[in-house]
Amino acid sequence: MKIHVFDTSEQLDRFAADLFIDLIKSKPDAVLGLATGSTPVGIYAKIVEQAKQQNISFGGVTTYNLDEYVGLTPDNDQSYAYYMNQHLFSHIDISPERTHLPNGMASDPQAECARYEAMLEERHADIQLLGLGHNGHIGFNEPDSALSAGTHVVKLKNETREANARFFASMDEVPAAAFTMGVGSILKANTILLVVRGAEKASIVKEALTGPVSTQVPASLLQTHPRVIVLLDREAGRMLV
């Protein structure tokens, strides 16, 4: 595991964006595992900027997102499909058929999980971007006594709904459930890029990266992966020394 701590968000975003841009330069048909939430916003902005400046084509790139809320349509501005279009897909030359998210409106959730998992089985990500929840979740894999390996529907913990309520008009509007890749699917990526910002995540960063591997801290399972790169701002990394 390589851990980088940055003085500024700009430096972190640039470093992360360069990893993606360099990958696509060397492998134009790269498979990207993508994440949502507030953490990657600046990274996507830098990727867009660099792609424009360096004339990088995403024409051969395929993407799979980690998760999607159950019950939100892609045109709902809180859906992760909307987020991805807003922050990345509409700014690059990727073809919509190559971008994948679970369908939050699927009428048969189990069939949707199986469909998504079958796609992930076919092509593993070259790089999987991850944020970190305050309770140690990755994707929407919430702390539990056991974790699911594959794509599944998860009932969101109150603490996660509260953390994400800032994006919704009220707490009542925060969906109660989400589709998420399982930890097993996440760990199949060739390289994992975990990005964390902010003092309020310093203690969960320490627990996840240096504590015991436990399903109660889903991100701690990243310790078992051979190629994890961790990018932290000073605040998130302050308890690591």
Ligand X SMILES: O=P(O)(O)OC[C@H]1O[C@](O)(CO)[C@@H](O)[C@@H]1O
Q: Which residues contribute to the site for ligand X (CB under 6 A)? A: 35-39, 66-67, 130-133, 139-140, 160, 164
Catalytic residue (choose from 13, 142, 152, 164): 142
CA atoms within 13 A of residue 215's CA, in its CB half-sphere: 9
Q: Is 46 exposed, middle or buried (0-12, 13-18, 19+ CB in 10 A)?
A: buried
Helix (H, G, I), strand (E, B) or coil at 195: strand
In whole angstroms, how close is the CB of 59 to ligand X at the nearest point? 27
Q: Are 24 and 58 in contact (CB under 8 A)?
A: yes
Q: How far is the CB of 41 from ligand X (least distance, A)?
A: 8
- Min dist CB 79 to ligand X, Å, is 12
Active site residue 65: no
Around Cβ 1, how many Cβ atoms within 10 Å? 14
Catalytic residue among 4, 135, 207, 235: 135
Active site residue 142: yes
Which of the following is catalytic: 13, 65, 67, 164? 67
Q: How far lies 68's CA from each of 2, 5, 113, 156, in Å? A: 29, 29, 11, 12
Catalytic residue among 117, 137, 152, 233: 137
Indicate if 135 belongs to the active site. yes
CB of 193 to ligand X, least distance (A): 12
Is the distance from CB of 220 to CB of 212 less than 8 angstroms? yes
Tell me the catalytic residues: 67, 135, 137, 142
